[in-house]
Chains A and B, each alone.
Chain A
Amino acid sequence: MTTATESILKQILESSTPAYFDKGNEARKKAFAQLSEIGLPTSKSEEYRFTPITKALEKRFTWTSSSPASEAISIDSFLPAIGDTHLIVFTNGRFAKHLSKLDGLESNVVVSTFEDADLKTKSVIQSLLGTISKTEDPFAAMNSAFYQEGIFIHVPANIQVAKPILVLHINDAQAKQVIAHTRLLVSIEKGSDLSIIEKSDSLGTQPCLHTFTEEMIVAESATLDYCKIQNDSGSTHQVSNTFITQADNSRVNTFTLTLNGQIIRNNLTIQINGEQCESHFNGLYLVNGNTLVDNHTVVDHQKPNSFSNEMYKGIMDDQAKGVFNGKIYVRPHAQKTNAFQSNRNILMSESATINTKPQLEIWADDVKCSHGCTTGQLDEEALFYLQARGIPYASAKAMLLYAFALDVLTVIKNENLKAHLDQLISERLHKNF
C-alpha cells in the first residue's frame, strides 16, 4: 500500500462514526479489510492507469468529519422534464424522505431504505445485499465499508411498474466538502418490468466525492431499463460500481450520459447468467473543461444463446480526457453468443485526449463477437458543405456533433425521457462545443 492510501485510509477510519462497525456488520468489516489490503489505485494500477483519482482525493479532501445530513434544498430545478415519475431523493448521501414521492406505487412493490425496512424486508435485503457485487474495485470496497444509506427496490413477479422511478442525488458542496457513499439494491422478479432513472447533480464548488454501489438482479423474463444522467459541478468526483445480473429471457437496457464533473468513473458489470438474454448498453460522454470521464464496462456471457450490444460515444473538448475500457467475456460453454461493441470518439481540441481499450476474451468457439473503435475529428468537407449553405460555423459544428451522438439514444424506450435527453444533448452541444 502506498503512503497516500495509508494516510487516506487512516483518516477515513478515524473520521467514520464508530456506529459503522459496532452493529456487528461483518460485511462492512470484511470490505474494510479488503480496502486496506488492495489500497487505493495508483497510476500503476491497470484499471486506473489514466484516472488519477487517488491524487485528487489526497489533494482536495479532508477526512475529518462525515458530511452533514440533508439541508433544506429546493429540488425543483434538478427535476428533469420527463413527465410523472416516482421519486427518491438523496441529499449528501442521505435519503430525504420529505423530498421523495413514492405514493401510487403498484401494490406489493417495495421501496424502502435498508434501515426503515420491516423485518421481513430486512431479511430479504440481508439475503441479497452483496451477492452480485464484488469488492475488487477499491471504491466498491470503500462503499461497502462506509455506505451511509441504501435503498431497496423490490418488484414481485408479474408486475409492470407503470411510472419510472427517478433517483435524484443532490450533493450540496456550497459551504463544505461532501463525501457520500450510497447503495441501491434492486430485485425484479419473474416477468416484471421496471424503469429506473438516476440523476446526479451538485451545488457549489467545494470538493465532492460520491461512491455508488448498485446491484440489480433481473430475474427470468423480466425487463430493466436503467438510465444514468451525470451532470455534476466541476468539483465532483464520482465512482459508481453498477452490477447487473440477468436470468433466462431477461432484457436489460442501460444508458449512461455524462456531461460534467471533475473525475467521473463508471464501472458497469453485466453478468449474463441465463440463456436467450438480451442486453443493450449505451453511453455518451460530452465533456469539456478539465473533466475526466472513465467508463469501464464488462459484459460476462456465462450461458449460451445470448445477445449483447454495446455502443459508447464521446466528444472531448478543452483539456477533457476520455477513458474507455470495454471487456467482453465469453466463457466456455457460452456457445452461440453474439456480442458486439463499439466505441467512437471525437477530439475537439489540442489538449483533449482519449485512452480506449476494447477488450475481447473468448473461450468458446461458436460465437460471433466483434468490437470496433475509432477516433477522429469532424469532417472538414461536411463542415464546409453546411457553411456553403449559409449555416454559421458554430451551428454547423453542433449539428454534425449532434448527428454523431444521437444514435446512442436508440436504447431508450420512454419517449418523454428520450425527448428530454435529446434536448439536453442538443443544448449542450450548441452551448459548449
Chain B
Amino acid sequence: MSKDNQVLEEFTSKEYEHGWNVNLEADEAPKGLSEDTVRFISAKKNEPAWLLEWRLKAYRQWEKMAEPTWANVHHPQINYQDIIYYSAPKQKKSISGLDEVDPELIKTFEKLGISITEQKRLTGVAVDAVIDSVSVATTFKETLGELGIIFCSFSEAVKEHPELIKKYLGSVVPMNDNYFAALNSAVFSDGSFCYIPKGVRCPMELSTYFRINAANTGQFERTLIIADEGSYVSYLEGCTAPMRDENQLHAAVVELYAMKDAEIKYSTVQNWYPGDKNGKGGIYNFVTKRGLCFGDHSKISWTQVETGSAITWKYPSCVLKGDYSMGEFYSVAVTNNYQQADTGTKMIHIGKNTKSRIVSKGISAGKSQNSYRGQVHIMKRASNARNFSQCDSLLMGDQCGAHTFPYIDVENQTARIEHEATTSKIGEDQIFYCLQRGIDEEAAVALIVNGYAKEVLNQLPMEFAVEAQKLLALTLEGSVG
C-alpha cells in the first residue's frame, strides 16, 4: 500500500499548471459594493437608464437577502465589501481586427494554447474571448451575421438589440432568484449574448473563453442564449484562471431560452485555479445556470466537466414548460486537495410528456469533498413525465468524501422516475487486469477513469472532448485508487 500512498502523495501535491499572471493595466471600480458601485458600472458601460434601474432593483433585493448556507461546503465568510466589482482590460479604442488587440492579451491566449488566430484558422470555432469582464474580440461575426445569428458581448447587445435584452433578461433566472443571482444582476460586468433566428441551425460551435485576471476582482458574467422556433445551437464555455492567493468570487448567471422545437446544447469545461495543495486560494464559483424549455418539443442539454475552483456551487437546471420538451444533464466533477464541489441539477417538469435524463459522475481525491445535489420535480399537470437519473461517485484515497443529495418530488401519478446512485473505488482487480496487459498503473487509472466518465465525455463537442480528456488525465496523473 505504501507505493499507492506515494503516488497518491505525488498526485495530491501537483501544482496548478496554468498558473501565471499577466500584468494588464486594469480599469477598476473602487472596492466595495453600494448603489454607487452599481451606478459606476452602469455609467462605465454607457448603459441606458432602464438597465441601471434594473440593476438597482436587483441590488436592493440583494441587500435584503441572506447568503445561503445549505450547500455542503465550508469557507470563511465572504466580505462583499472587500471585492472590486468591475475591472476592464485597458482597451481605449474599439477594434476591428485581431492585429489591433493588446499584444499582452494575445500572449495570454497563446500561453493557454487557445490563440485566437489559430482557433480561427484551424477549428472554425467562433471565439468571443472575455478577459476580466470585457469582450475584446469577436470572430466569425460576419459569417454568423449572414444567417441572422446574433453572437456578441452582452454590452454590445444592450446597445444594438435592446428590445431582445429587455424582453429576455431575467426571464429564466429572475433577479431575485437567489443571493448570487441577485448579486450578479446588480453588478454583472459583461458576458455573451446569442440569438438564433427561426429555423436556423447554427453551423458552428459558438464558444467563449473566460479568464479571471486582475487580483481581487470578482467576475460577474451574464450569458443569455435565445433559440427561436426550430433553431439549433451548440455553445461552449471553457475557462482557466491564473494562480492567485486570495480567494476570488465568481457569480455568473447563464440563461437559456428555447422556443418551440428549438434545441440548445451548452457545454462547459471549467478549470479555474483550485487553490494550492494546502487549500489556500482558489476560485469560489457560485453560478446560477438555468434553461427554460418554453415551447413544445424543445430541448436543452447541459454538459459539464468541472475540474477547477476551490468551491463550486452550481446547478445547471432545466424548466420543462413546453409539452414534450426534454432536459439533459451530463456532468463529470473532479475534486482534489481541499477542493469542495456541491453541484448537480434541477429538472422541473411542468409540461406534459416531458423527459429528463441526469448522468452525474463524481471523482474525489485528496482531502476533497464532492457532492451531488439534484432535484427532480414533477408538477401536478406534468402527466407522463419520465426521468432517469444516475449519479455515481468514485473515491480515491481515504481522506476524501462523496455525498449525494437527490430530491425527488412527484405530484403526478403517471410519472415514471428512476434514480440510482453508487459509490465505489477503482478496483484492484481492474488495475491488475491492466498491469497484466502491460499497461502501467498511471495509464490504467487514466483509462479506467476515462471509461467511467465516458458517458459524459461523449456528449461534449469534438473540440472540447479532447481538452476534457487531457484535463482528466492531467488531474489524475499518478493517482491510484
Contacts and interface: CB of A to CB of B under 8 A. Distances in A.
Interface of A: 46, 330, 332-333, 335, 345, 347-350, 352-377
B417 A362 contact: no
Nearest to B405: A359
Contacts of A330: 423
Interface string B394-435: 011111111111111111111111111111110000000000
B410 A353 contact: yes
Given A362-B401, A362-B423, A369-B423, A375 B481 contact: no
A350 B70 CA distance: 32
The interface residues of chain A, by DSSP majority, are classed as: strand
25 contacts: A335-B398, A347-B410, A348-B413, A350-B413, A353-B409, A358-B419, A359-B403, A361-B401, A362-B393, A362-B402, A362-B403, A364-B395, A365-B396, A365-B481, A367-B423, A370-B420, A370-B422, A372-B419, A372-B420, A373-B408, A374-B417, A375-B408, A375-B410, A376-B416, A377-B416
Nearest to A367: B423
Contacts of A373: 406, 408, 417-420
A365 B397 contact: yes
A361 B403 contact: yes
Nearest to A370: B422
Nearest to B398: A365
Contacts of A352: 413
Nearest to A378: B413
Given A370-B422, A371-B421, A358 B415 contact: no
Contacts, number: 115
A132 B39 CA distance: 57
B420 A363 contact: no
Given A365-B397, A365-B425, A376 B404 contact: no
A356 to B, nearest CB: 5
A310 B70 CA distance: 26
A46 to B, nearest CB: 7
Contacts of B420: 370-373
B70 A46 contact: yes
B interface SS class:
strand
Given A373-B419, A376-B417, A357 B405 contact: yes
Given A358-B406, A360-B403, A362-B423, A375 B416 contact: yes
Nearest to A341: B421
Nearest to B386: A376
B405 A355 contact: no
Contacts of B417: 373-376
A364 B419 contact: no
Contacts of B401: 361-363
A145 to B, nearest CB: 28
A55 to B, nearest CB: 19
Contact of A359 (B398, B404, B422): B404
Contacts of A375: 408, 410, 415-417
A41 to B, nearest CB: 15
In order of increasing CB-CB distance, the 7 nearest A-B pairs are A347-B413, A365-B395, A375-B417, A373-B419, A360-B404, A369-B423, A370-B422
A268 B83 CA distance: 46
A358 B395 contact: no
Contacts of A332: 398-399
Contacts of B418: 372-374
A322 to B, nearest CB: 9
B422 A357 contact: no
Nearest to A359: B405
A347 B422 contact: no
A202 B231 CA distance: 62
Nearest to A375: B417
A427 B70 CA distance: 43
A417 to B, nearest CB: 32
Contact of B422 (A46, A353, A369): A369
Contacts of A368: 422-424
A362 B369 CA distance: 9
A358 B481 CA distance: 26
B404 A349 contact: no
B419 A366 contact: no
Contact of A377 (B398, B404, B413): B413
Nearest to A360: B404
A227 B12 CA distance: 48
Contacts of A369: 422-424
A334 B351 CA distance: 45
- Of B399, B408, B424, most A-chain CB atoms within 10 Å: B408
Interface in B47-73: 70
Contacts of B403: 359-362
Contacts of B424: 367-369
A316 to B, nearest CB: 9
A377 B414 contact: yes
Nearest to B403: A361
A388 to B, nearest CB: 22
B408 A366 contact: no
A376 B393 CA distance: 26
Nearest to A333: B398
A350 B423 contact: no
B405 to A, nearest CB: 5
A358 B391 CA distance: 12
A361 B371 CA distance: 8
B411 A357 contact: no
A352 B424 CA distance: 35
Nearest to B391: A360
Contacts of B70: 46
Contacts of A348: 413
Contacts of A367: 395, 423-425
Contacts of B380: 350
A373 B419 CA distance: 5
Contacts of B405: 357, 359
B419 A353 contact: no
Nearest to A316: B413
Nearest to A346: B413
Contacts of B422: 368-370
Given A371-B404, A372-B420, A362 B395 contact: yes
A269 to B, nearest CB: 18
Contacts of B412: 347, 350
A347 B409 CA distance: 12
B409 to A, nearest CB: 5
Nearest to B381: A350
Given A46-B70, A366-B398, A373-B408, 5 more contacts: A360-B402, A360-B404, A365-B400, A372-B418, A377-B414
Contact of B407 (A335, A355, A361, A372): A355
A355 B408 contact: yes
Contacts of B419: 358, 371-374
B402 A349 contact: no
A372 B404 CA distance: 12
Nearest to A349: B413
Contacts of A333: 398
B363 to A, nearest CB: 11
Contacts of B407: 355-357
Nearest to B428: A366
Nearest to A364: B398
Contacts of B406: 357-359, 373
